[in-house]
Amino acid sequence: MESGRGALLVLLVALCAASALGRTPSWDGKIEMPTEEDAEKGTRWAILIAGSSGYWNYRHQADVCHAYQILKRGGLKEENIVVFMYDDIAYSTENPHPGKIINKPDGPDVYQGVPKDYTGADVTVSNFYAALLGDKDAIKGGSGKVVNSGPNDHIFIYYTDHGGAGVLGMPTSPNLYADDFVDTLKKKAAAGTFKELVIYLEACESGSIFEGLLPEGLNIYVTTASNAEESSWGTYCPGMYPPPPPEYDTCLGDLYSVAWMEDTEIENLKKETLEDQYVIVKSRTSNHNTYRTGSHVMQYGDVKLDVEELARYLGYDPANENVTKPELPEFLSAHTEILTHVDQREADLIHLRYKFRNAVKGSLREANAATELAKTIVHRKHLDDSVQLIGEILFAGENALEKLTAVRPAGSVVVDDWACLKTMVRTFEASCGPLTQYGMKHMRAFANICNARIDPAKMAVASSEACKLSTSAGSGIWSPVTSGFSA
């Protein structure tokens, strides 16, 4: 006891002496041991997913590679970053600079050093869920890397690809459905293996993945590129401002994605909060709230977490230490009347048109591009006409289009019965062929068919009737641009 009083007396004398000399130390009244501080910070983890394949989808893998470089520069260890990408872009015969990937017109190569954890056929929904849950036994193929996180850890998930109402694309079957994804997030939360989890999600209708499904109280914060009923947008595309280098005939990035990444690269992430970045990204993605092009960036889950600094999730680049506060971007302010972005679902057509336009006249490349463009247009018409005809059959022609496209109130789950939705998609594909990236625009139609309690047997008959009328348009010519299958 006496020794404790003596130590306290020495401390008080030292404080008084320092005060008398005008050098009062900054002290908040508590003493934290370094080991306690380190334990509180925990470990940063990240999962990065590009959900597509094919050179026409260049931008998705470019986004993921860029995100990896940002996290690595921010201090995250490679062992704590799990990367899912098909890895068929860097050395594609279409790539004008083999072995390199860029994410903006004047940008550096972002491909070098990116780990190939899960590539090709190993980029699956089941591997993603297993990696998130830290379940090494459930992993099939790939590096086996998982998020082996603990209760004080912070996790960042970034996904970029095509989407539809309640679904996200993957380069392998099956696609990722919202109910399964949210259930996996709930399992992760119940396991107590993270402190806070942040998700950035780039896809069309990406808000539908969380609306009505993701509850508060899980310490999960989400932003999405779009709301539940609109497209997200590609950028740095041929013929737009600013264009990619002339040798590229594809979009280099996605608008929401490059917005958060380019902001991250110039800010002091120890001072910028999740909310700061949300406001900045929302402004740029909406074309400064004009929506001439662009979409509504949304927040879901525990939005209260947005007061926290980005450094907790993305790390910190010392090069930006002197940046004092976040600034709204001025990138588009002088060019709001110029075409700057393209609807995600139209980006493949942009690619094919410029591939055709830039090819040597009379060359095999020109002929192939013309064929692919024609097939893609025919295939799209086949899908659109088939879904509309199915609706007319099932709803006896009474306001069929309105019933297929009806949108539930904001905040509502897109479908009541997820098993039904998955069954309806399989039933459609059995008669009409792969739904494809473009076809995901019709997911709401299938959801509405389920919500109307249509019997799956009736859906099977309607699909068979509708699609046999366009067999020549649907069979054997599925565009590799939109489906990933050979023509």
Catalytic residue among 60, 66, 154, 162: 162
Please give the structure tokens belonging to residue 404.
């297929």
Residue type, 223: T
Q: Which candidate, 100, 86, 212, 250, places its Cα nearest to that of 160?
A: 86
Task: Give Cα separations from 469 to 270, 389, 431, 462 (angstroms).
Answer: 60, 10, 11, 11
Gap between the terminal Cα atoms of the chain: 85
Kind of pairing between the strands at 196-202 and 298-301: unpaired
Peptide bond into 174 cis (omega under 30): yes
Q: What dihedral do alpha carbons 434, 50, 336, 239 form, nearest 10°?
A: -70
Q: Which residues pair with 341 in a beta bridge?
A: 235
Residue 162 designated active-site: yes
Residue 65 designated active-site: no
Q: Which candidate, 281, 282, 239, 235, places its Cα nearest to that of 255?
A: 235
Please give the structure tokens belonging to residue 66.
């860029």
Give yes or no for a contact between 352 and 251, defined as CB atoms under 8 angstroms apart.
Answer: no
Q: Which residues pair with 84 in a beta bridge?
A: 49, 118
Residue type, 247: E
Task: Give Cα separations from 43 to 100, 151, 209, 282, 377 (angstroms).
Answer: 31, 10, 27, 28, 48
Give yes or no for a contact between 466 and 390, defined as CB atoms under 8 angstroms apart.
Answer: yes
Phi then psi for residue 66, to 5 deg, are -65, -45
Q: Which of the 8 DSSP states describes residue 408?
A: P
Task: Give Cα separations from 28 to 24, 25, 31, 37, 251 (angstroms).
Answer: 12, 10, 8, 15, 52
Peptide bond into 480 cis (omega under 30): no
Please give the structure tokens belonging to residue 326.
């976040």
Contacts of 459 (CB under 8 A, 6+ apart): 390, 394, 424, 427, 428, 449
Catalytic center residues: 162, 204
